[in-house]
Amino acid sequence: GENVEQHPSTLSVQEGDSAVIKCTYSDSASNYFPWYKQELGKRPQLIIDIRSNVGEKKDQRIAVTLNKTAKHFSLHITETQPEDSAVYFCAATFTGGGNKLTFGTGTQLKVEL
C-alpha cells in the first residue's frame, strides 16, 4: 500500500550544524517528492521538491536527494539557524492517486543556540 516512513521523529542540532531527515516510500512508481515546513500554529509550506527524473536539487541552504533504487529521499539543511526550528514533513505521490500526497509522520527539528 501507500506508505512513507520518516526518520527521525525529533532532531536537535547546534546552530551552524547540518541536519538530515530521511524518508522511504513503498511505491517504485512514485514520481514526486515534496518537503513541507510547518512552524508552530502555521500551515505546512512547501520548501523544496524533487521529481523522479532528478537525483538532487538544491536551493540555498536546503537540498533534497533521491535514490530511486533504494526508494528513499532525504532533506539536507546546512548552516542551520534558529528560524529553521519547525516540523518538517516529507511526502510522495503514488500510482493512481493523481496529485494526492501521502505524508510522513514529521520531524521536529530544534536548532539550539
Partner 1 sequence: DAGVIQSPRHEVTEMGQEVTLRCKPISGHDYLFWYRQTMMRGLELLIYFNNNVPIDDSGMPEDRFSAKMPNASFSTLKIQPSEPRDSAVYFCASSFGVGGWGTQYFGPGTRLLVL
Residues that bind partner 1 (CB under 8 A): 30-32, 34, 42-46, 49, 51, 89, 93-94, 97-103, 105-106
Comparing CB distances to partner 1, the nearer of 52 and 78 is 52
Where helices occur in 1-113 by DSSP H, the ranges are: none
Rounded CA-CA distance 94/40 in Å is 28
Contact predicate 45/33, CB 8 Å: no
Nearest approach in angstroms of CB 38 to partner 1 is 9
Nearest approach in angstroms of CB 72 to partner 1 is 18
